[in-house]
Amino acid sequence: MTAQAPTLVRWEWFKLRRRWMPWVLLGILLLFSQLFLWANFFSYRNLESTGGRVFLGGAPIGGRLTGDAPVAVNCNDLLAGRTEGLPAGIDPRLIEGLQQQCQQAMTRQQERLEGRRNSFTLPESLSGALTAAQGIGVILMAILTASVIGTDFGWGTVRLVLVRGIGRWQYLAGKLAVLALVSVGALVVVTAATVVSSLIAGALVGGGASDWAVLSAFTDWARGLGRVWFSFLPYVVLAALFTVLTRSSAGGMAIALAYSFGEQIVVLILINLFDWFQNVADFLLGRNIAGWMLGEQREGLRGMILGGGVGLGEFPDGLHAFLVLGAYILVLGGLAFWLFQKRDVQGASGG
């Protein structure tokens, strides 16, 4: 029975790689992960060229206000005595105040530039890109899972596979194994793209040889990749269960995504209304994924999770999250297999 598993995985991949969908989803994943990196790159360039900005807004200028819209002024201009960007007739004391503000900022300028530079150069750029990939990746994996399983119901091809003597358990396990492998592959591609982007971005800002320090940071990268990959699995089995239940890729996608977004909204409302809901929330899928991703770098990464997690209470710790997510994978996966094993397989539904 298990001897057939590699064959099923191989041939599932044969089909999957000929579809558009996985490549489109990979493109979206790459886009999101690289957007993060290049946004930091441009932020760095901006900080470097402007020296940072101070804002002037709602302050009295010559007895009147500048208006509602604040005016942004580059510190480099102010410190060089260039005040062309400021409104005419501005109080000189105000300019002096702004210059002092800029001088203070300049004492931390090198530190700020270093921080931004690290975020788009290796090895730190990898953890940033993987975290960005995780956020969109769970949704993309749910979509891909629902499509990979659901289209076989829609096209009626599930019958063609099963009548060749393939066990139902093997059939579903083969699909889930391919999805698990594909997600690892996608993260490796994200990593490769991030390495290339980081080297390009580093070179553009005059990067040094220290970029290659990534080789020594391989363990950290592998751990980060494993963490992101594990966070995908509960959503893969969740989408699989609902796809098997509805026998439709659209149904599986809709329910898995509705659950994902619905949970965040419900938690946001209830956790602020009832203290006891924190205990319930500690066992919900999305929050445990957030807790798992925060891991030991809780404070550092918190800002990247769920809009900073403002008003969302405390996230579960890493071990708790690991156990809860493991339980979700086992229970949801078990239900999907049980349901698929028990039910009759009907003809093509077209959906």
Partner 1 sequence: MQATPLAIETQGLTKWYGQVLAVDHLSLQVHGGQVFGLLGPNGSGKTTTMGMLLGLVRPTSGAMRLLGQGSGALYREALQRVGAIVEGPTFFPYLSGRANLLYFQGISRRRVPGEVDRLLEVVGLSGRANSKFSTYSLGMKQRLGIAYALLGEPDLVFLDEPTNGLDPAGMAEVRQLIRDLGRGGRTVLLSSHLLYEVEQVCDSVAILSKGRLITQGRVQDLLRQQGAVRLKTTDDGKALPLLAALPWVTGVRSEDGCLVANAPLERSWEMTALLAKEGVYVSEMAPLQLSLERYFLEVTGEDSSVIAEGTR
Helix (H) or strand (E) holding 243: helix 218-246
Helix (H) or strand (E) holding 213: none
Q: How far is the CB of 311 from partner 1 (least distance, A)?
A: 45
Q: How far is the CB of 337 from partner 1 (least distance, A)?
A: 16
The number of CA neighbours under 13 Å toward the Cβ of 79 is: 17
Residue whose C-alpha is closest to residue 32's, from 143, 125, 129, 126 = 129
Q: Which residues here bind partner 1, judged by CB under 8 A?
A: 1, 4, 7-8, 10-11, 14-15, 18-20, 155-157, 159-167, 342-345, 347-348
Residue whose C-alpha is closest to residue 190's, from 63, 25, 48 = 25
The residue (of 27 and 62) whose beta carbon lies closer to partner 1 is 27
The residue (of 89 and 165) whose beta carbon lies closer to partner 1 is 165
The dihedral built from the CA positions of residue 48, 51, 52 and 53, taken in this order, carries a sign that is: negative
- One DSSP character per residue, 135-157 reads HHHHHHHHHHHHHHHHHHHHHTH
CB 147 within 8 A of CB 343: no
Helix (H) or strand (E) holding 77: helix 75-79
The residue (of 165 and 206) whose beta carbon lies closer to partner 1 is 165
Q: Residue 97 corresponds to which tokens in the numbers above?
A: 């105040």
The residue (of 8 and 182) whose beta carbon lies closer to partner 1 is 8
Amino acid letter for position 153? F
Residue whose C-alpha is closest to residue 184's, from 146, 215, 154, 141 = 141
Q: How far is the CB of 169 from partner 1 (least distance, A)?
A: 11
Q: Residue 239 corresponds to which tokens in the numbers above?
A: 């989408």
The residue (of 81 and 165) whose beta carbon lies closer to partner 1 is 165
> Could you tell me the CA-to-CA distances from 257 to 180, 237, 241, 305 in Å, in that order?
19, 13, 13, 17
The residue (of 11 and 276) whose beta carbon lies closer to partner 1 is 11
Tell me which DSSP letter residue 307 carries.
G
Q: How far is the CB of 221 from partner 1 (least distance, A)?
A: 35
Q: How far is the CB of 164 from partner 1 (least distance, A)?
A: 5
The residue (of 84 and 344) whose beta carbon lies closer to partner 1 is 344
Round to whole Å and give the CA distance between 118 and 121.
5
Phi, psi dihedrals of residue 231, rounded to the nearest 5° = -70, -20
The residue (of 69 and 163) whose beta carbon lies closer to partner 1 is 163
The residue (of 20 and 216) whose beta carbon lies closer to partner 1 is 20
The number of CA neighbours under 13 Å toward the Cβ of 58 is: 1
Q: How far is the CB of 247 from partner 1 (least distance, A)?
A: 13
Q: First-to-last CA distance in the chain?
A: 31
Q: How far is the CB of 336 from partner 1 (least distance, A)?
A: 18
Q: How far is the CB of 41 from partner 1 (least distance, A)?
A: 38
Q: How far is the CB of 67 from partner 1 (least distance, A)?
A: 58
Phi, psi dihedrals of residue 73, rounded to the nearest 5° = -125, 135
